[in-house]
Structure 1
Amino acid sequence: MKGRREHLRHLPDDFSEMGVILSRVNKSFRGATREPVNTFQTVSSISDRELNSTGSDHSSIIAIQTKVCEPEKVLVPALPDTACVERGYVTPQQVYNLLSAEEGQPALYDPHYILILDCRSTQRYKQSHVVTAQASVTLIHPALGCLISCTELQKFSIILLYAEEGCSPVGSEKARAESPDLQRCFFKLSDLGMDPVIVLGGFSAFHALYPFLCTPRFLPIEPQRHSLTIYPSEILEGALYQGSVSQASDYHIIKNLHITHVVNATANCPDAFPNTLSYLGLRLSDNAQQDLVEALPLASRFIHAALRADPAGRVLVHCSLGRSRSSAITLAFLMEHRCWSLLHALSWLKERRACTAPNVNFLRQLLTYEEQLFGRRLTNLEDIQR
C-alpha cells in the first residue's frame, strides 16, 4: 500500500482506535506561576431558554458570582469506555468528526482528503446524501468494475462507504443480503489494496443525528468545497463540543447543534449571542504566563451543571482557533467529571479533535490539576508533549 493512505492499512478494532485516522488528518495538508489571578468574568444565564424560540423575551440576564473551591474529595481514576464497533465500520459520530477535522484549514477543502461513496440507488442519492459524497456507480460500476485508477484512489486519505442501513459483519451472508451494492464496492476496493470503512447504521443513522450535513448538492471541485460550513468537534456525543470563535459566532452552527451554553476562553472576543445562550466568559491568553488556577474548576463546574440540567444542555467550548485554551478547559472537565487521567483525557480529545494542542504551560498546570484531583501524579509530561 502506497501513498497517503498508508496509515489506514488496519481498520480500527474499536471506537477509540478511530484516533489512528483522526490524529493523522493533518497529513492531508502537507504540500507556571501559581499565583491566583482574576481570569474569569461573570456567568450569564437565562433559565429554561430554548435556542429555537423566536418569541421569547431575552432582555433579562442574571449575573452569577461563582466561588472557586478545592475538590471535596480525592477522585479514583477511571478508564474511558470504548464502544464495540464491528470491524470495518465507523460510527456516525466518528464520521461527523472526520467531516469537521481541520489543521491549518478544514480538511474537507482538500479534494483528496476523503472519498465518500453512496451505495444506495441513484434516486435516493439525488434526494439527499452525506456532504461531498459521490454515487458509487460513478466509480464502481456493477459490470465494468472500478472506473478510477489505483493511482487516483491512493491519493485519498480515507475512503468511506454507506448504504441506507446496516451493521452486520462485513462479508457475512446477512450483510450481502442487506446491502449487496455496498458489499460489492467494499470488496472491489479491498482487492485493489484500499482500506475502505463503512458507516455503521448507514445513511439513515447519520441523517438522524446530523441532517445539516446531508444535501442533494454534488460538490466535486475544491472551490465549491470552500462554501461548506465546518462544525466544531463533538467531544461527548450530543453534549460537549469544542471549536473556534468563528464557529461560536455562526448562528446556524449554534442552532443545528442545539447549543445552550458556551465557554468563551478568548482574551477579548465578545459573546456572540448573550441574549439567547448562557455564557461563561474567561479572559485567557495563550501564553506561558497565563494562570489557570481559577479558570479550570470554574469552567468544569459550569459545563457539568449545563450537562446535568433538566432538560440537559449542550455546551460549546471555544477559544480563537479551538486548539490550546479551549483544549485545556475540555481536558480539565474530562479529568474532573469523567475521572480520567490527563493522559487518557488527552488521548480521547485528540481522537475527536486532531488539532488539539494545549501549550506546554497549560499542560504543566493540567498536571498539577490532575494531582489535586487524584491525590497523586498519574501522567508524565514527556508522554503528552507533541
Structure 2
Amino acid sequence: MKGWWEQLMHLLNDLNEMGVVLSRVNNSCRTASKEPVNTFQTVSSISDREVNSTDSDHSSIIPIQNKVVCEPEEVLVPALPETACVERGYITPQQVYNLLNAEEGQPALYDPYYMLILDCRSAERYKESHVVTARAAVTVIHPELGCLISCIELQKYSIILLYAEEGCSPVGSVKARADSPDLQRCFFQLSALGMDPVILLGGFSAFHALYPFLCTPRMVLLEPERHTLTIYPSEILEGALYQGSASQASNYRIIKNLHITHVVNATANCPDTFPTTLCYLRLRLSDDAQQDLVEALPLASRFINTALKAEPAGRVLVHCSMGRSRSSALTLAFLMEHRRWSLLHALRWLKERRACTAPNVNFLRQLLTYEEQLFGSRLTSLDDIRR
C-alpha cells in the first residue's frame, strides 16, 4: 500500500509541474485563430533561405492562417544613439555626402544657391579633382582683393562649406592656422561678413577616400550642368545602410559605387532590377491608410540585420517609390529593434540623414505599436513625432 501511495503522489506532482509548464506556454504564445482572419506569418516561421532569396516571389509577404505567434521572451532595454564628437565649425564627410544628395521635391543640388563649396587648396590640386560643384576659393575670397561676391549674393546660399587637403584641428588654433592658412583666412573673412561657414572634417582626402564618385576634375556650377549629376541614396549608417528611391535602386552606377549587396524593395509594382547579382527582400506594400505592416516590420528588420552582420558584411539599400514613407517605416523598425532606439530617437536620427523622411500617419501608429511590443511599453507619443 505504501508503494502505491508514493506512486500516486509522484503522479500528482508530475501533473502539477506539467500544469505550470502549460500555463507558461499559454501565457507566452497565442494562436492565430484568436486574431483576425487575415493574419500573417511571423519572422520566426520563415526560413533563412526565404529571407535571403533573390527570387522576389519567394520573399513576398504571403497571408498565412492558423500559425502560432509567440511573443518575445524578453523586452528590449532602450538605448540612446551615440553621435561622434565633432569640433565646433566642422562637418563630417558623411554629413556632406547626405547634404549633396538631399532631396526636397527635387534634388537640392540642382539649385545653384543651395550650397557654396569652396576648395581652399592650390589651383593645381583643384584642377586634379575636387568635390562636385566646388569652386576654387580664390574665385570668391581673394587673398588681396577680399570677397569677390557681395554679401547679398552670399546670403542666398543655404550652406557654405570649406575644405583643405586635410585638417581637424579646432578652428582658429595655432595648428589649424599652420596646416591650412588659406582655409582659416576664408573662414574668418566669411564669418566677419555675417556668414556661418562650416569646414569639412578631414578635408578633401577624407571625403575622397569614402566617396570618390562624388569628386571630379570638372567644374559644375550652372543649373543645366547640375541636372546631369547622379543623386545617390541617403546614408543612414555609414558604409552599411542606405535609403532611397526606386530609380536609384535601378541605377547600376549607384549600386556599384555604394557596393550594395542587399536590397529591400517596398514598392507594389517596381521589379527587382538586378536579381542575379543582388539579394532582394520584396515586400509589396502600398503607401496608404489600409496597409498592414505587421509582417513587414520584423521581416525587413531581420533581413537588414542579417545582411549587415554577414561575413563579409553586406551593404543594404531600402527603397520604395520616392524613398519617403514605406522605406522610412522599414528603416525605423530596424533602428528600433537592432539599435534599441525609441521611435522618437530613431526618427530624429533618420531625418538628420534624410530630410524628406515622411512615413504616413498609418505607418507611424503601427510603429508606435511595434515600439510597445519591442520595449514592453510605449516610449513615444504620436504628438512627439508629428511636431
Asked if these proteins are the same fold (TM beyond 0.5), I'd say: yes
Q: Which has the higher contact order (CA 8 A, sep 6+)?
A: 1
Tell me if 1:174 matches 2:178: no
Partner of 2:106: 105
Partner of 1:36: 39
Tell me if 1:274 matches 2:250: no
Contact 2:56 2:281 in 1 (8 A): no
The AA in structure 1 aligned to 2:39 is P
Greater share of helix: 2
CA deviations 1:15-66 (Å, max 9, x no partner) are: xxxxxxxxxxxxxxxxxx99535899954547xxxxxxxxxxxxx9995799
Please list, as runs of the form range in 1=range in 2, the aligned pairs for 1:330-349 lying within 5 A after superposition: 330-349=331-350
Q: Which has the larger radius of gyration?
A: 2
* Alpha-carbon offset, residue 385 of structure 1: 1.3
Partner of 2:252: 251
Deviates more, 1:33-42 or 1:326-335: 33-42
Contact 1:35 1:291 in 2 (8 A): no
Tell me if 1:154 matches 2:139: no
Contact 2:287 2:360 in 1 (8 A): yes
- CA change 1:95–1:34 in 2 (3 A) is farther
Identity of aligned residues (%): 81
Unaligned residue ranges in structure 2 (runs of 5+): 1-35, 62-66
Tell me if 1:261 matches 2:255: no
Q: How many residues align?
A: 341
Partner Cα distance (2:166, 2:317) in 1: 30
SS for the counterpart of 1:246 is: helix
SS for the counterpart of 1:298 is: helix
CA deviations 1:155-197 (Å, max 9, x no partner) are: 0000000000000000000000000000000000000000000
Unaligned residue ranges in structure 1 (runs of 5+): 1-32, 47-59
Contact 2:41 2:295 in 1 (8 A): yes
Partner Cα distance (1:249, 1:316) in 2: 11
Partner Cα distance (2:139, 2:384) in 1: 45
Contact 2:52 2:303 in 1 (8 A): no
- CA change 1:62–1:281 in 2 (3 A) is closer
CA deviations 1:263-294 (Å, max 9, x no partner) are: 00001110010000000000000000000000
- CA change 1:116–1:168 in 2 (3 A) is same
Partner Cα distance (1:34, 1:215) in 2: 57
Contact 1:349 1:356 in 2 (8 A): yes
Please list, as runs of the form range in 1=range in 2, the aligned pairs for 1:105-254 lying within 5 A after superposition: 105-254=106-255
SS for the counterpart of 2:357 is: coil
SS for the counterpart of 2:281 is: strand
Partner of 1:309: 310
CA deviations 1:223-273 (Å, max 9, x no partner) are: 100000000000000000000000000000000000000000001110010
Contact 1:296 1:332 in 2 (8 A): yes
Deviates more, 1:259-268 or 1:70-79: 70-79
Contact 1:43 1:278 in 2 (8 A): no
* Alpha-carbon offset, residue 121 of structure 1: 0.2
- CA change 1:69–1:86 in 2 (3 A) is farther
Contact 2:60 2:284 in 1 (8 A): no
- CA change 1:94–1:212 in 2 (3 A) is same
Partner Cα distance (1:341, 1:87) in 2: 28
- CA change 1:156–1:65 in 2 (3 A) is closer
* Alpha-carbon offset, residue 82 of structure 1: 1.3
